[in-house]
Amino acid sequence: MLTVIPDLLDSGSVHRIRSLIDAAQWVDGNVTSGHQSALAKRNMQLPEDAPQAQQAGQIILDALGKSPLFIAAALPLKIFPPLFNSYAGGQAFGVHVDNAVRIQAGTGFRVRSDLSITVFLEDPELYQGGELTIETNFGVQQVKLPAGHAVLYPSSSLHRVEPVVRGRRVASFFWLQSMIRDDAARQMLFDLDSSVQALAADLGHDNAQVIRLTGVYHNLLRRWADA
């Protein structure tokens, strides 16, 4: 399931994040790469322990917590602290699959990477290339969104970042462990939840069928969730 989250960050939040991270010291992006990724990855990144990255990441985490679309689509259990990368001058990230488990450096915190998130932090007209290309069951999809928008997709997907041939692509990226491990089950719950919310808007939350379907949703969540 690939889900676009429009306007996760408003323009003020994007400006605050960019003010923090643009003033920080960037390093080679392979500081967080696994073996496979290191062969394909050419970009710059903020160190995980940079105070600017931690402050900017908290802005994103706060926004995620207020996003009903994100919560419904991801059903998050644990979220890896947001990281930040930059591509320019032909830099790219070739085809790869994200590591199955991500461990935060210097801590015991770890997540199973069920879903990957990219939050775009540069307006698309300011750089050429840099599309996030994801291979899905419905074909190849390319994503290049306005600053403040985000995309959520399975970490098991083959994906890449196309070369940036003009300007600079800046984004946040990270992973989460969902309460629902299986992507197909998560998709069914998301579709059911979306339908229930639409019916409730038309018929009212106290409608008998809306209540019944809400019960079905929670009973399936109860059956499948790791929490």
Q: Encoding tokens for residue 130?
A: 């840099």
* Domain 3-178 fold: Jelly Rolls (2.60.120)
Q: Encoding tokens for residue 164?
A: 């940036």
Q: What is the pLDDT of residue 207?
A: 97
- Which residue in the block uniquely carries the two structure tokens 């591509």? 87
Number of neighbouring beta carbons within 10 Å of residue 207: 14
Domain with CATH 4.10.860 in the chain: 183-224
Largest CA distance in the chain: 59
Query: Is the pLDDT assigned to residue 87 strictly greater than 60?
Result: yes
Confidence bin at 161 (pLDDT 50/70/90): very high
**Any known ligand binding at 98?**
yes
Q: What is the pLDDT of residue 38?
A: 58
Domain with CATH 2.60.120.620 in the chain: 3-178
139 or 127, greater pLDDT: 127
Query: Is the pLDDT assigned to residue 32 strictly greater than 60?
Result: no
- Looking at domain 183-224, which of 3.30.750, 3.40.1440, 4.10.860, 3.30.60 is its CATH number? 4.10.860
Nearest Cα residue to 212 out of 225, 199, 194: 199
Q: What is the pLDDT of residue 152?
A: 98
**Any known ligand binding at 35?**
no
In tens, the pLDDT along 141-160 reads 999 999 999 999 999 999 99
120: Cβ contacts below 8 Å, ≥ 6 apart: 144, 145, 146, 147, 148, 149, 150, 171
Q: Encoding tokens for residue 184?
A: 């197909």
Which pTM was predicted? 0.93
Average pLDDT over residues 120-127: 98
Confidence bin at 113 (pLDDT 50/70/90): very high
Q: Encoding tokens for residue 185?
A: 């089950």
**Any known ligand binding at 218?**
no
Query: Is the pLDDT assigned to residue 33 strictly greater than 70?
Result: no
In tens, the pLDDT along 174-209 reads 999 999 999 999 999 999 999 999 999 999 999 999
Phi, psi of 217 (to 5 degrees): -60, -50
Confidence bin at 108 (pLDDT 50/70/90): confident
76: Cβ contacts below 8 Å, ≥ 6 apart: 64, 70, 176, 177, 178, 179
Confidence bin at 41 (pLDDT 50/70/90): confident
d(CA 138, CA 152): 16
Nearest Cα residue to 186 out of 112, 100, 75: 75
